[in-house]
């Protein structure tokens, strides 16, 4: 609402001004009387008209005085109203200042109360007995629930507690399990605390359940997950870091949505599941999948880099879709690598990838160029119904010749050919190997 315009204060009327106005009225009245009497004398009128002239002069004097009196009354009223308005504004300013002081006092009281609660809760977390530490956890939880502005601080405290080094005893494992449960419970569901960051760098986590949680970003770099690690349907709105992370048991990322992620140097001791996950730019450089991995139906929205990764058991990418660069160069697949019906929308590379098990690419679509140069195919190969919309470089790939006949049935792309008339030995690899080349490429070069 607009504030009314300020009223100009009424200044006191100087005494000399009043005197001057009275003098002017006297002069005007006297002048009028003289003029009227002169006119009557000149015109030769009798006493009656002369008396009328005097009355007219007196009326002029009275009228002038009345007008001046009205002016003075108007000034007095205006001054009274201005003074009243000024008092109202002064009162409003006073009340506003009082409200501001009261609000500041309230904020100060709230801040002091929050600080006291936070300090007491932190002291409880440092207690020697587990029940007292549990009381501190629940006190911090209540603090965050009642004060949204303190939630990130509460989460930082929880994460710091979980990052404490050392091998916990049974009671301490129970406390840490409670912290994990309380933390995840406030990151999922309709009542979740939104827009928070989680930093569990280097933490040792037991049976960690982060399924369905939503965070802005999270760091699990060099963390160790003992027992099942469940990130199913979790959402990382900015970034998720798992560099050098150790997954000692089953790792579940099915249905997770990750804007950007790095698993460089991570180790999955048992099966890693990314079925149906939506991954932005993601890196698995040097990642060890000791028990294989499942990426069925996964969507790679950004660059996907698997350079130097190692898969110990069967790895499945069925129906996955790579929207950008798919770099699978230098990977070692110790068991089957299944890429059936995968769609590569961007460029892709399998340069120097070592397929020691079956390499199954049936039904794949390569929308842009792909590169299999230097790849090694150790067992059965299936490229049936593969579609190359761009250039497919393969020479000099190699395929092993001395394999069992049951596994020697290979379905190459129509223009690829395996040379079996000559064979060679590859350093560090058993058996005899033949070269694979693309006859179309050789014809174009000729």
| Residue 442 scores a pLDDT above 60 | no
The residue that leads in pLDDT, 324 or 52, is 324
Predicted pLDDT of residue 325: 97
| Residue 1 scores a pLDDT above 50 | no
| Residue 57 scores a pLDDT above 80 | no
CA-nearest of 279, 285, 278 to 305 is 285
SS3 content of the chain, % helix, strand, coil (to 5): 35, 20, 40
Question: Cα separation of 58 and 404, whole Å?
Answer: 142
- Answer yes or no: are the C-beta atoms of 294 and 272 closer than 8 Å: yes
Predicted pLDDT of residue 2: 47
Instruction: Give the burial class of 69: count Cβ atoms within 10 A of its Cβ; 0-12 exposed, 13-18 middle, 19 or more buried.
Output: exposed
| Residue 14 scores a pLDDT above 60 | yes
Residue 243: pLDDT band (50, 70, 90) is: very high
Question: Cα separation of 301 and 261, whole Å?
Answer: 12
Question: Cα separation of 350 and 376, whole Å?
Answer: 10
Q: Give this prediction's pTM.
A: 0.76
pLDDT tens-digit readout, 147-174:
898 999 999 999 999 999 878 889 999 9
| Residue 190 scores a pLDDT above 80 | yes
């Amino acid at each position: 609402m607009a504030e009314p315009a300020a009223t100009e204060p009424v200044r006191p009327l100087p005494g000399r001004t009043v005197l001057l106005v009275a003098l002017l009225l006297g002069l005007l009245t006297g002048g009028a009387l003289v003029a009227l009497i002169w006119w009557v004398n000149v015109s030769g009128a009798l006493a009656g008209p002369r008396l009328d002239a005097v009355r007219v002069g007196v009326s002029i004097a009275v009228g002038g005085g009345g007008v001046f009196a009205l002016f003075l009354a108007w000034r007095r009223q205006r001054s009274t109203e201005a003074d009243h308005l000024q008092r109202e504004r002064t009162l409003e300013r006073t009340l506003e200042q009082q409200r501001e002081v009261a609000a500041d006092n309230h904020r100060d009281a709230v801040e002091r109360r929050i600080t006291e609660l936070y300090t007491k809760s932190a002291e409880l977390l440092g207690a020697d007995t587990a029940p007292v530490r549990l009381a501190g956890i629940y006190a911090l939880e209540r603090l965050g629930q009642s004060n949204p502005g303190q939630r990130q601080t509460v989460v930082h405290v929880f994460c710091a507690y979980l990052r404490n080094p050392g091998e916990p005893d049974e009671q301490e494992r129970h406390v840490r399990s409670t912290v994990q449960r309380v933390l995840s419970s406030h990151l999922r569901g309709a009542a979740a605390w939104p827009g928070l960051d989680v930093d569990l760098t280097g933490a040792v986590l037991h049976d960690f359940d982060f399924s369905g949680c939503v965070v802005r970003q999270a760091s699990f770099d060099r963390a160790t997950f003992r027992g099942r690690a469940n990130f199913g349907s979790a959402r990382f709105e900015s970034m998720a870091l798992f560099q050098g992370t150790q997954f000692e048991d089953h790792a579940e990322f099915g249905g997770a949505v990750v804007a950007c992620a790095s698993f460089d140097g991570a180790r999955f001791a048992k099966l890693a599941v990314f079925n149906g996950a939506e991954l932005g730019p993601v890196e698995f450089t040097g990642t060890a999948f000791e028990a294989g991995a499942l990426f069925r139906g996964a969507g790679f929205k950004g660059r996907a880099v698997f350079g130097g990764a190692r898969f110990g058991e069967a790895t499945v990418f069925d129906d996955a879709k790579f929207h950008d660069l798919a770099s699978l160069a230098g990977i070692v697949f110790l068991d089957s690598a299944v890429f059936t019906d995968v769609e590569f929308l961007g460029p892709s590379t399998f340069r120097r990838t070592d397929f020691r098990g079956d390499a199954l690419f049936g039904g794949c679509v390569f929308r842009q160029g792909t590169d299999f140069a230097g790849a090694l195919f150790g067992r059965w190969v299936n490229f049936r119904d593969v579609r190359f919309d761009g250039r497919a470089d393969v020479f000099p790939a190699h395929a092993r010749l001395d394999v069992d006949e049951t596994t020697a049935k290979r379905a190459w792309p129509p223009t690829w050919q395996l040379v079996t008339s000559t064979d060679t030995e590859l350093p560090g690899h058993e058996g005899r190997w033949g070269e694979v080349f693309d006859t179309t490429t050789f014809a174009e070069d000729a």
